[in-house]
């Protein structure tokens, strides 16, 4: 019998951002050297990391868009 009662949430595939569901463009997932991943050049905001569900944290990469700080003026203003 095939029952549809089990509503286990499908975990996103490793190539997907857990925050928005878009491709995270992770080089490691794509079979590229880790050094070539965007996350090596782009700082990932702590806010974005905090929004990742604990079950996905450390396992699934987020995408470059979600990694950007929501309020990046706070970073730029630190220089002036
Ligand atoms: Zn995303």
- 51 alpha carbon to ligand 1 midpoint, in Å? 11
Contact 45, 67 (CB under 8 A): yes
- Burial class from Cβ neighbours inside 10 Å (0-12, 13-18, 19+) for residue 31 reads exposed
Q: Which is higher by pLDDT, 62 or 71? A: 62
DSSP tag of 50: H
- Quick one: pLDDT at residue 75? 54
> Which residues, by Cβ under 5 Å, contact ligand 1, an ion?
17, 19-20, 63, 66
Nearest to 64 by CA among 46, 40, 39, 47: 39
12-59, pLDDT tens digit by residue?
Answer: 577 899 999 999 998 988 899 989 999 898 888 898 999 999 998 888
Its pTM surpasses 0.95: no
Structure tokens at 53: 């569900």
How far apart CA 10 and CA 26 sit, in angstroms, is 20
Nearest to 12 by CA among 47, 64, 65, 61: 61
Place 7 in a pLDDT band, splitting at 50, 70 and 90. low
């Amino acid at each position: 019998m095939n029952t549809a009662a089990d509503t286990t949430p499908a975990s996103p595939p490793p190539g997907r951002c857990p925050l928005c569901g878009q491709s995270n463009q992770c080089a490691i997932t794509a079979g590229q050297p880790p050094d070539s991943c965007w996350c090596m050049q782009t700082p990932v905001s702590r806010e974005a990391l905090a929004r990742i569900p604990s079950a996905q944290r450390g396992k699934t990469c987020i995408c470059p868009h979600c990694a950007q700080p929501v309020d990046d003026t706070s970073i730029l203003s630190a220089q002036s």
